[in-house]
Structure 1
Amino acid sequence: MKESFSLDALLRHNIKKLVPYSSARDEFKGEASVLLDANENAFGSPYSKNYNRYPDPLQQQLKTKLHQIKGVPPENIFLGNGSDEAIDILFRAFCEPGQDNVILVPPTYGMYEVSANINNVAYRKVNLTADYQLDLDGIAAAIDVNTKLIFLCSPNNPTGNSIRRQDIETILVNFDGIVVVDEAYINYAKQPSFSKDLPEFPNLVVLQTLSKAWGLAALRLGMAFASQDIIAIFNKIKPPYNINQATQEIVLEALDRVDVVNEWIKETVTEREKLATSLRELPQVEHITPSDANFILVRLEQPRAFYTFLVERGIIVRDRSKVELCEGCLRLTIGTPEENKALLHAIHTFYNHTS
């Protein structure tokens, strides 16, 4: 158990003093036949189902169901409007604008930098190594007394590889600020989630999402797992009804279909390996980064021309060729077997034509 960590020392002064908004559904919990406390429309909704009542502000049913699946107690779970809401709250809770800083390890998920800019918080970039692992010495050198957050994405986006677990643990042990481990793609990886390590690391925040393996991207539901004290801060800052009732209902129903999701994960991993094997046979493919995600990062000849060729044929991939350390690379999401065959056919067509 880490002994030197002090959450109170990290928290912004205005957040310490903040009195959160108390909603009608915070002040009354339970069942009642006449609800005249929240200024809702008592007649219902102009829809086949009524959504005239405010939802549970703390999504207790959802958290109980997630506890059964993830093994994380409900009091250690925050639900947000995508993981982006949790990222933004971390900045607002712990980073004094114009004073504090965070550490990013590019190439990585772009919202960390966007959120830093929105909140007027400086960010220090410590690039990953050539094999997309952490530069521990560089990170240690970048930390100062005003460094509040370190963002680590594992499996990493856009590279797809997992960060070495012992390196993440080294940072957790030696850094007295908050370490954010973004596990958006953890369902596709062999490594275990850091969510099981919350009791050992009070400075750990784990981010996950239902947008990837669970196929619920349109609903925008992200998860943060952390100590009860950190989750209490999240709940203090968030809007009172940040997860709408329709989303809560749909997700509750979806969470009963773990077996379906597990089959999708298995098929995605199988298709990922098949696609990577096929690409390695092409002389125009220079490198494929080993992936623990539902995509692969491929360095190949004429990436921009090939990207344009795909767009003209209605196949959209992500051009990462101008991202530092990803020069010449395209990021290919793993599709259905039919979609992957269409991609491979396009690759053969393009390079046979241009060779």
Structure 2
Amino acid sequence: MFSINKILRENIKKLVPYSSARDEFKGEASVFLDANENAFGSPLEQQYNRYPDPLQYKVKKRLSDIKGVPPRNIFLGNGSDEAIDVLFRSFCNPGVDNVILVPPTYGMYEVSANINDIKINKVPLTEEYQLNLEGIAEAINDHTKMIFICSPNNPTGNSINRDDIETLLANFSGLVVIDEAYINFSRQKTFIQELTEYANLVVLQTLSKAWGLAGLRVGMAFASEEIIEVMNKVKPPYNINEASQELALKALQNVDQVNGWIKEILLQRDRLVLTLKDFDFVLDIYPSDANFILVKTTDPKGIYNFLVDKGIIVRDRSKVDLCEGCLRITVGTPAENDILLQTLQNYK
């Protein structure tokens, strides 16, 4: 049975969070002489002399309308990477606790674990890129605090079997963190809808992919209110700057435009798969629920270098376990995909 107090670090239980100037009053005000800001303004057309909302309420309210989740169940981070780091710092004791990773998967889980001095237990995916439930069960011990699952998975592109994830959620006493960075491109439904069913569920999403806001660095975590409260206590007070909040809020008004882009990306993904499979050097193209495809080739390094020389950058994943021989190719615009395919026709 999951209990947040059993996995929360003792120092975090006792932590008194930083109290910002904007946290210490309620209501409306017109004169702000509390935060040592420059009251004269900013040397810009837009004024950024005031500190931003530390809890980003307007953005969370708009996300709440889109996702169907109350604002109190939403954490916003400086990219999903900050949410990942905050989870490590909140729940894992350095040098004592461990987490389970299921490679091949997103590399920042391992980087963040290493930064925080948290042991990693790796349980590779099966050859079908699905969870090895028996292996995960054997890897869990009294100091296992979190299991990270990327679905749709990066770099393989496939979604992880939903029943397998629910098995972990129902039987693991730590956090199950599901990274849904690519969920907008997937045929699978989000696990956000299961938040009320599983107290140990954390879902990560981002505005960097489908929403096209990678430069703003806005990541999301969805979880129970008690988990979100811990994350808000641990994060820096002003972790999302005012410009990012304003632009994210403006972008979140354009759901129809983003949905149109998603449909076009999926069409272009199908087109890439259909065309690439006819090239002699392509051995396999794995099913994808993301905005990229994993392509197994006869000469990944040679193809990669050939494309680089032509000014086209893809990702060489051939040294990653279970991705031998593979290139990861992001779905571009029709014009970018034309250039890629035309260039590859000249590869010998």
The equivalent of 1:288 in structure 2 is 285
Shift of 1:341: 1.1
Deviations 1:229-272 (A, max 9, x none): 00000000000011111111001110000000000000000100
Name the aligned partner's letter for residue 59 of structure 2.
Answer: L
Is 2:87 the partner of 1:90? yes
The equivalent of 1:61 in structure 2 is 58
Shift of 1:292: 0.2
Shift of 1:41: 0.6
Q: Distance in 1 between matches of 2:249 and 2:339?
A: 35
The equivalent of 2:31 in structure 1 is 34
Q: Which one of the candidate residues 272, 276, 279 is aligned to 1:279?
A: 276
Name the aligned partner's letter for residue 164 of structure 1.
Answer: N
| Structure 1 gap segments, 5+ residues each | none
Q: 1:179 is paired with a residue of what secondary structure?
A: strand
Q: Distance in 2 between matches of 1:306 and 1:283?
A: 12
The equivalent of 1:326 in structure 2 is 323
Q: Which one of the candidate residues 76, 100, 103 is aligned to 1:103?
A: 100
The equivalent of 2:265 in structure 1 is 268
Q: How does 1:1-355 map to 2 (within 5 A)?
A: 4-350=1-347, 354=348
Q: Normalization by structure 1: what TM-score? A: 0.97
Q: How many residues align?
A: 348
Q: Distance in 1 between matches of 2:39 and 2:25?
A: 17
Q: Distance in 1 between matches of 2:140 and 2:168?
A: 11
Shift of 1:273: 0.7
Q: Distance in 1 between matches of 2:160 and 2:137?
A: 17
Q: 2:88 is paired with a residue of what secondary structure?
A: helix
Q: Distance in 2 between matches of 1:245 and 1:235?
A: 17
Deviations 1:102-129 (A, max 9, x none): 0000000000000000000000000000
Shift of 1:280: 1.4
| Structure 2 gap segments, 5+ residues each | none
CA RMSD between the two structures: 0.6
Shift of 1:31: 2.3
Name the aligned partner's letter for residue 328 of structure 1.
Answer: G
Shift of 1:215: 0.2
Q: Distance in 2 between matches of 1:278 and 1:10?
A: 49
Q: Normalization by structure 2: what TM-score? A: 0.99
For structure 1, which segment, 29-38 or 230-239, has the greater mean C-alpha deviation from structure 2 after superposition?
29-38
Shift of 1:49: 1.4
Shift of 1:142: 0.3
Q: 2:305 is paired with a residue of what secondary structure?
A: helix
| Structure 1 runs (4+) greater than 3 angstroms displaced | none
Q: 1:349 is paired with a residue of what secondary structure?
A: coil
Q: Distance in 1 between matches of 2:27 and 2:253?
A: 25
